[in-house]
Amino acid sequence: MIRHLTRFIATLVAALGIAAPASATTYSTDYTDIWYNATESGWGLNLIQQYDNIFATLYVYGSDNSNRWFVAPNLVSSNGGTVYTSLLYQTVGPFYGAAWNPAAYQATQVGSMTLTFTSVNSATLQYVANGVNVSKAITRTSFRNNNLSGRYIGGLTAIGSNCRTVANGPILAFDNLNVTQSGTSLTMTVTYFTSATSQATCTFTGTYGQAGRLASFSGNWNCTTGNTGTFSMSELEASRNGFNGTFTGSDQYCNYQGFFGGVKDVI
Over the chain (267 residues), the average pLDDT of each successive run of 10 is 37 36 75 97 96 97 95 93 96 93 95 97 98 98 96 96 90 92 97 89 97 97 96 96 97 96 93
Residue 249 is predicted with a pLDDT of 97
Cα 266 from Cα 147, distance rounded (Å) = 18
Residue 12 is predicted with a pLDDT of 33
* DSSP classification of residue 94: S
Q: How many CB atoms lie within 10 A of CB 161?
A: 12
Cα 45 from Cα 60, distance rounded (Å) = 9
Q: Where are the domains of the chain?
A: 2-22+144-264, 33-140
Residue 23 is predicted with a pLDDT of 55
Residue 26 is predicted with a pLDDT of 86
pTM for this entry: 0.86
State which CATH number among 1.10.60, 1.10.760, 2.40.160, 1.10.287 fits the domain covering 2-22+144-264: 2.40.160
